[in-house]
Structure 1
Amino acid sequence: MKRLTYQKAAVQWTEALPLGNGRIGAMHYGGVERDLFQLNEDTLWSGPPNRDRSYDDRESLRKVRQLIDEQKYGEASDETKNMFGPYAQGYMPLGDLTIHHFQGNDCRGYERMLDIEEAISSVSYTIGQVQFTREAFISYPHQVLVIRLTSSVPKRLTFTVGLDSHLKAETLQDGQALIMRGVCPEYCAPHYYAEDELPFVYGEFGESKAIHFEGRVRASSKDGQITYRHGKLWVQGATEAVLYFAAATSFNGYDQLPGRDFGELAHRNESTLSKAMAISYDQLKEEHIRDYRKLFGRVEFTLGEATEADEELDTDQRLQTCGADDPAMVALLFHFGRYLLIASSREGTQPANLTGIWNEITRAPWTSNYTLNINTEMNYWPAEVTNLSECHRPLLKAAKEIAATGEKMVKERYGLNGWTAHHNSDLWRHAHPVGAERHGDPAWAFWPMAGPWLCRHLWEHYEYTQDQQFLAEEAFPLMKGAALFCLDWLVEDEEGYLITSPSTSPEHHFYTEDGQRGEITKGATMDLQLIGDLFANCLSMTAILGVKEEWVQRVRAAKKRLHPMQTGKFGQLQEWLLDYEDEDAHHRHVSHLYGVYPGNQLTEGPQLDAVRQTLNRRGDAGSGWSVGWKVCLWARLKDGERCKELLRRFFNVVRERSGVFGSNGGVFPNLMGAHPPFQIDGNFGYTAGIAEMLVQSHKGYVELLPALPLAWQSGTLSGIRVRGGFEISLSWERQQASRLDVSCIIDNMFILRSEKAVVVREAGKEDLLVEPVEGYLTFEVRKKYSVSLLFQLNFSKSL
């Protein structure tokens, strides 16, 4: 089952069903008398950013470091505010496409569905003796939203189509199309910033430096009458009609001013619509499905036999009623995460932001931007492992662009080499600290560690693909630049270790023994883990590429001098260099566990006990993305039962969207992640967590079923990727692996951790019984064939 089904239309946004092709997004409500498609386009942002002044923070940096050494944390925080910069810009909603039917709203047999195997939403119902249907998809090959409407009785379709926007826009018609054109705000303040006289600032059409946009809809019908009048598209007396919507913006690149010519946008949209309408609806649909399934169809996941769950229940009701004990729902939410990644991040598009590509609010929570201290990165945790490497590319490209702006920022502000970025970024690749004029909290506004974290994604992409050209041409310069910044940013403490100063553990505060409340200190554990991770990956990269430059030796020496991790008074992994008291022992961030996941510095030894204690002290409650991170962490600790309990929290259906922040995470009725409010990283964290429970490869070998809950007695997982360039398919029965198929994109060695002998079957070769050597099974897997491993288990009747 890979469908979301409902027996009523969506009333609010968090009930609508998401469609997307990476660039264009739509939320489909499925109303009877009035149907709504709320629209987005991934380059529709406020801005461009205004560089109101230059920044030189070298003196403030010196003062902050001195105040930290003197343990004057309040004064250090106050001085840090002098290093703040402008807030990042915000992601904007495009508009609404509304279909008004002249048939009333009294219907029977209503069904609304999202088929995530085909990326198509549909609605059907009956009024009188006529069945009405609609289906919609957004084509990546043809770059259009397509909506087909039909009636079972000839010529019973009569409706109007309207286009509108919450932005500064107007709606026109030209006899061939209904047109919405407008301009984004030149400035948008975050929802939590009230100091500006005008938090939303617009320019004029054709003059503003902000992004201009156009949306254009056309219709076709074999027997209906189509007209464009009074700002509406009219379809009358049709048996079938198809709507085609295209969108274009004047975005010219992160480092260029947007264009201002509506004529150019009209030309692009008309060209897109003409090409889409030149072929039949059936061909459009077929090409859409084929393109989408090339990605989505790579992975399958099932958990044993289906339960006796009520198939008549709406998806949200079944989720709430049966929860994590319903294998079909566990698998559906896993697949839904992959669906959302494909829908919000395709090659050539912008990366998925805080809400993917779906946003209806002009001043969205946290401006729906790129939050780089966890959320943006979490969006891509499932990309490589669930066989969506192509969908990872938008983030990798954005890292290159952020590095360009970050290099200028680092040189200007700190007088240092290399590049980094801070807490937030946007379409314009904002790299500066945020916080405005001393407005923000240094606990989140000043965090210069985004560069090292983004570099982990570069390294992960190489580890999964083994693409040495990518490593040499794309990853190498970025990882080198980030390492150069870290080398310059590190300072020596009184014991001779290298630490960071100033330093924060994102969004958390501490109390000192004498009662000072602070957030700015030195040597936060996350900083040192990020830098240690980057240094280790740089050394591996340069060894592969044969690079022996001087900076490599500096990295090797600095890595040995990084301050080691420590255990605190509660037996927990220390979050800061000093063992401060947590302001919030149950804080949603677990930043200092980066070295467990997504990093791999903490894989064994007594410090894992400190990690467990940290997680136990933090507790299992949290916002949606926080729970997702904890699932991944407990999976690395091989505690499947704890993972299962955390998964239950995802099956909490949040009905209300009110408020800006809440700790009672889960999903909304449409299964999109509830922070709350909506943040898409919870969905991606869930999918990554399931994968991590079933297969791990971060230690240099593959482990099967490392965190399998007792309830998951049998199942299959196919098409999953592991490091080294391998793709595997796995089956298990009675909680033990029964079959493993391995293939590889290159010739490589496959190393499996196993205590059991296996029968190896290779193409064209005789079966071979292989015994593990010191717990490891090693096979050479060549690109031209795969191998099957049949595990010798007591219950197996085939051996």
Structure 2
Amino acid sequence: MNLLTYRKAAKGWTEALPLGNGRIGAMHFGGVETERFQLNEDTLWSGPPQSNKEYNDQASLKRVRQLLDEEKYEEANDETKNMFGPYTQSYMPLGNLFIQYQHGDTAQNYHRTLDIKEAISNVKYTIGKIDYTREAFISHPHEVLAVRLTSSVPKQLNLIISLDSLLKYKTSDISDGLVLQGVCPERCDPVYFHENEQPVIYGEFGETKAIHFEGRLAAVVEDGQVESSKGNLTIQHATTAVLYFSVATSFNGFDQLPGTDFEELTFKNAAILSKAMSISYEQLKEAHIRDYQALYNRVDFSLGSENLEAALDTDERVQKNGANDLAMVELLFQYGRYLLIASSREGAQPANLQGIWNDLTRAPWSSNYTLNINTEMNYWPAEVTNLSECHRPLLQAVKELSVTGGNMVKKRYGLNGWTAHHNTDLWRHADPVGGERHGDPSWAFWPMSGPWLCRHLWEHYLYSQDKVFLAEEAFPVMKGSAQFCLEWLIEDENGYLITSPSTSPEHHFYFADGQAGSVTKGSTMDLQIIWDLFSNCLAAAAVLEIEDEWIHQVGSAKERLHPLQIGKYGQLQEWLMDFEDVEPHHRHVSHLYGAYPGEQIVDGPFLEAVRQTLNRRGDAGTGWSLGWKMCLWARLKDGERVNALLYQLFNIVSAQREVFVGGGLYPNLLGAHPPFQIDGNFSYTAGVVEMIVQSHKGFVELLPALPSTWLKGTLSGVKVRGGFELSVSWEGMQVSLVEVICHAENVIILKSSKTAVVREDGKDERKIEPVDGFISLTMNKNQKVQLQFEK
């Protein structure tokens, strides 16, 4: 199942269909008389890099720690606000491409689709005796949005095409095309723009240090006329028209001022368009599909589904059948992979809160990188669904953030190493946010994103086994993050190492007399993330054969971290003290990091405490929260509980994005926080893999959390730790066939109590008996084996 399909045009943004090549994004609406492509480019942010005032928080840090020692939580909460900093900059919309048809708006046989196997959207309808079609894609190899418009009767395309933007912009005419030039705002405070502000054409931009941009549109028509005049491109009496749109910005790097020369942008766009238009449309399309499918086709997922109720629109089908429609379960899984490829290609920026798609000058939460869960969650499916290349933008951003984060911790806290806080942006903002004491420390002050982000560096190594990457890129950044943690930790009265001050992201606790606080000592999530980083640093050092005094210091500090605790309800304790939750059903489950994505809690009483915590939290939640709980229940091997969460996720949410009605999906299947956040899509895709294949314990476990509705199926081409690619088939909820491809010489260990028949190209079959419930295979690089399991 690879097709989203609708019998009506999109009325709102959350009904439009997303296209992207990692850098350029478009939402395709599919209107009959008026077509709209809402456009984005991943470096269009407010800015430039902020020149923050000098912060020195050492006195406040000392004061907060003293107040916490005295259990004066209210005063500590207030003092923490003195360490707040500026908000991040905001992700901006590029503009709109409008196509006005001269044939009216009364159409029959309307059909709108997004084929995620080819990354192409289509619109088809009939007016009178004429069939009209539109086909669109954004090419990664050629860096253009291409739109082909056709009519079944010759010379019946009569169009007026225009460009606009909510940013400061102007348009100009060129031969057979249009040019849109503009600038982003220099600041991001909410009063600068308003969501409903009407576009205004500015003749001059004035002096600005903000990012400049240019979008350039060109048209090629068959047996028709093209004229550009007064900001409109008119096409008359054509049978086929192809539009090519390119965009360039003056972004020069996270630590550089943007350029101001529109001529340079014009030169870039002209070169892009010249290359794209030097070949035929069909050749351009073929190159696009070939490039895209080199990533997408690596993984296949089937639950043996029947094509139930195919006549229904995709959103209607999801709403009617929910997770019972296994074809929709398959589609949403691959949709997450499609969205990651579309929003995160190597050399581009990482996927932000909305991936790459945003139509507002004041996007929810600035459409920034929220580092206390959401950015990391975006990349949970990257390695496991065989999209390591799509992980690279985040890994590069972490490397850049270590630079700004190193400067920040030196100036603010007088410490070495690096970290960042709750949010970052294009300019790799590392400071706490919150403004001038206006925020809440529960989200504004959280200096643990550096250690969490380092997990992605280590995961990339585990799946790829790339020792050069580990030595030259990952380990130096991980070491800097661990150095910050070593200096940030303090000793408590029992000799344990803890963090102080500390918060559990976005949650609060009750202390004396029913007062609510958020700042305390030693939150469980802090300690789990640091344990995770220290463990991964030690493992990386072992791989790289590094043994020195610093490594011994990390090992010693890891052993002295305050141990996990089980609270009075049998739950995993969220804070150092067994406080009562202000919100027992809070959407964040931060203190369960050690169970997923971490690996600190894998069995025993603490895993049962995780189960109790999830039971107390309940199954309700926003889109991304449902995704995290899905992954956690998969780690707990409870497939039925995961399936229950799917019934909540497979719920179509109102397109009114500002109304909070609980998690689910919008009509275009984008994740609903609400409003739109893409992390719900990505966490679902990662969760599906976790239900079928797990490898975090040092061995591969198959079908650990399969629900009873998934009686048979196949999942092929996924990755497991150790450099292996794996495909698994099952019947009657029992593994029948496993195929393993080794990408780096290693030993794969499969948990199994059944005898397996091993087949290898050019070799005879042989049987392997399990030993103590495991089957081990020593494999060479590029070796491929099949294991048939006895029934």
Q: Secondary structure at the match of 1:729?
A: strand
Q: More displaced, 562-571 or 760-769? A: 760-769
Q: Distance in 2 between matches of 1:680 and 1:764?
A: 46
* Correspondences of 1:479-490 after superposition (within 5 Å): 479-490=478-489
1:212 is aligned to: 212
Q: Distance in 1 between matches of 2:637 and 2:204?
A: 58
Q: Deviations over 1:15-71 (max 9, x none)?
A: 000000000000000000000000000000001133241000000000000001111
2:198 is aligned to: none
What is the CA distance between 1:718 and its match in structure 2?
0.5
2:566 is aligned to: 567
What is the CA distance between 1:145 and its match in structure 2?
0.1
Matched, 1:434 2:433: yes
What is the CA distance between 1:635 and its match in structure 2?
0.1
CA change 1:658–1:468 in 2 (3 A) is closer
Q: Distance in 2 between matches of 1:445 and 1:203?
A: 39
What is the CA distance between 1:762 and its match in structure 2?
1.8
Q: Secondary structure at the match of 1:255?
A: coil
2:665 is aligned to: 667
What is the CA distance between 1:747 and its match in structure 2?
1.4
Retained in 1: the 8 A contact 2:15–2:655?
no
Q: Distance in 2 between matches of 1:278 and 1:758?
A: 55
2:315 is aligned to: 316
Q: Secondary structure at the match of 2:763?
A: coil
Q: Secondary structure at the match of 1:125?
A: strand
Q: Distance in 2 between matches of 1:709 and 1:759?
A: 27
Retained in 2: the 8 A contact 1:190–1:367?
no
CA change 1:140–1:52 in 2 (3 A) is same
Instruction: Look up the equivalent residue of 1:85 and give its one-letter code.
Output: G
Matched, 1:772 2:765: no
Q: Distance in 2 between matches of 1:226 and 1:304?
A: 50
Retained in 2: the 8 A contact 1:712–1:735?
yes
Retained in 2: the 8 A contact 1:621–1:663?
no
Retained in 1: the 8 A contact 2:401–2:430?
yes
Unpaired segments ≥5 residues, structure 1: 195-201, 794-799
What is the CA distance between 1:306 and its match in structure 2?
1.2
Q: Distance in 2 between matches of 1:768 and 1:532?
A: 42
2:279 is aligned to: 279
1:505 is aligned to: 504
1:93 is aligned to: 93
* Correspondences of 1:337-416 after superposition (within 5 Å): 337-416=336-415
2:465 is aligned to: 466
Q: Secondary structure at the match of 1:687?
A: helix
What is the CA distance between 1:515 and its match in structure 2?
2.2
Matched, 1:253 2:270: no
2:199 is aligned to: none
Q: Deviations over 1:268-299 (max 9, x none)?
A: 11110111111000000000000000000000
Matched, 1:641 2:620: no
Instruction: Look up the equivalent residue of 2:383 and give its one-letter code.
Output: E
CA change 1:191–1:398 in 2 (3 A) is farther
Q: Distance in 1 between matches of 2:618 and 2:626?
A: 10
Q: Return the match for 2:729 from 720, 731, 736.
A: 731
Return the TM-score normalized by structure 1.
0.97
Q: More displaced, 649-658 or 474-483? A: 649-658
CA change 1:563–1:439 in 2 (3 A) is same
1:41 is aligned to: 41
Instruction: Look up the equivalent residue of 2:100 and give its one-letter code.
Output: H
What is the CA distance between 1:650 and its match in structure 2?
1.4
Instruction: Look up the equivalent residue of 1:614 and give its one-letter code.
Output: T
Q: Secondary structure at the match of 1:100?
A: strand
2:197 is aligned to: none
Q: Deviations over 1:559-590 (max 9, x none)?
A: 00000000011110000000001000000000
Instruction: Look up the equivalent residue of 1:777 and give its one-letter code.
Output: I
Q: Distance in 1 between matches of 2:534 and 2:600?
A: 12
Instruction: Look up the equivalent residue of 1:321 and give its one-letter code.
Output: K
Q: Distance in 1 between matches of 2:624 and 2:189?
A: 24
Instruction: Look up the equivalent residue of 1:529 and give its one-letter code.
Output: Q
Retained in 1: the 8 A contact 2:174–2:228?
yes
What is the CA distance between 1:648 and its match in structure 2?
1.1
Q: Deviations over 1:721-740 (max 9, x none)?
A: 00000001110000000000
Q: Deviations over 1:292-321 (max 9, x none)?
A: 0000000000002416x2110000000111
Q: More displaced, 651-660 or 605-614? A: 651-660
* Correspondences of 1:576-595 after superposition (within 5 Å): 576-595=575-594
Q: Secondary structure at the match of 2:150?
A: strand
Q: Deviations over 1:80-111 (max 9, x none)?
A: 01000000000000000000000000010000
1:613 is aligned to: 612
Retained in 2: the 8 A contact 1:416–1:485?
yes
Instruction: Look up the equivalent residue of 1:293 and give its one-letter code.
Output: Q
What is the CA distance between 1:193 and its match in structure 2?
12
What is the CA distance between 1:781 and its match in structure 2?
1.7
Q: Distance in 2 between matches of 1:145 and 1:656?
A: 26
Matched, 1:300 2:300: yes
Instruction: Look up the equivalent residue of 1:525 and give its one-letter code.
Output: T
Q: Secondary structure at the match of 1:737?
A: strand
Retained in 1: the 8 A contact 2:446–2:502?
yes
Retained in 2: the 8 A contact 1:191–1:365?
no
Q: Secondary structure at the match of 1:553?
A: helix
Q: How many percent of aligned residue pairs carry the same amino acid?
A: 67
Instruction: Look up the equivalent residue of 1:286 and give its one-letter code.
Output: E
CA change 1:596–1:263 in 2 (3 A) is same
Q: More displaced, 222-231 or 251-260? A: 222-231
Retained in 2: the 8 A contact 1:346–1:394?
yes
Matched, 1:104 2:104: yes
1:50 is aligned to: 50
Retained in 2: the 8 A contact 1:636–1:692?
yes
Q: Distance in 2 between matches of 1:233 and 1:538?
A: 58
Q: Distance in 2 between matches of 1:191 and 1:31?
A: 32
Q: Deviations over 1:626-681 (max 9, x none)?
A: 00000000000000000000011111000232426x35110000000000000000
* Correspondences of 1:212-231 after superposition (within 5 Å): 212-231=212-231
What is the CA distance between 1:203 and its match in structure 2?
13
Instruction: Look up the equivalent residue of 1:413 and give its one-letter code.
Output: R
Q: Distance in 1 between matches of 2:560 and 2:192?
A: 41
Q: More displaced, 580-589 or 176-185? A: 176-185
Retained in 2: the 8 A contact 1:46–1:91?
yes
Instruction: Look up the equivalent residue of 1:399 and give its one-letter code.
Output: V
Retained in 1: the 8 A contact 2:176–2:226?
no
Instruction: Look up the equivalent residue of 1:666 and give its one-letter code.
Output: G
Q: Secondary structure at the match of 2:462?
A: helix
Instruction: Look up the equivalent residue of 1:678 and give its one-letter code.
Output: F
1:741 is aligned to: 739
Retained in 1: the 8 A contact 2:12–2:655?
no
Retained in 2: the 8 A contact 1:743–1:782?
no
Return the TM-score normalized by structure 2.
0.98
Runs of 4+ in structure 1 deviating by more than 4 angstroms, as ranges, are 190-194
2:289 is aligned to: 289
Instruction: Look up the equivalent residue of 1:599 and give its one-letter code.
Output: G
Retained in 2: the 8 A contact 1:143–1:272?
yes
1:797 is aligned to: none
Retained in 2: the 8 A contact 1:178–1:231?
yes
Q: Distance in 2 between matches of 1:34 and 1:663?
A: 31
1:548 is aligned to: 547
Q: Distance in 1 between matches of 2:671 and 2:464?
A: 29
Q: Distance in 1 between matches of 2:104 and 2:119?
A: 29
Q: Secondary structure at the match of 1:237?
A: strand
Q: Secondary structure at the match of 2:513?
A: coil
Q: Deviations over 1:168-195 (max 9, x none)?
A: 111111234201111000001258999x
2:708 is aligned to: 710
Instruction: Look up the equivalent residue of 1:494 and give its one-letter code.
Output: E
Retained in 2: the 8 A contact 1:207–1:260?
no
2:130 is aligned to: 130
CA change 1:385–1:302 in 2 (3 A) is same
Unpaired segments ≥5 residues, structure 2: 195-201
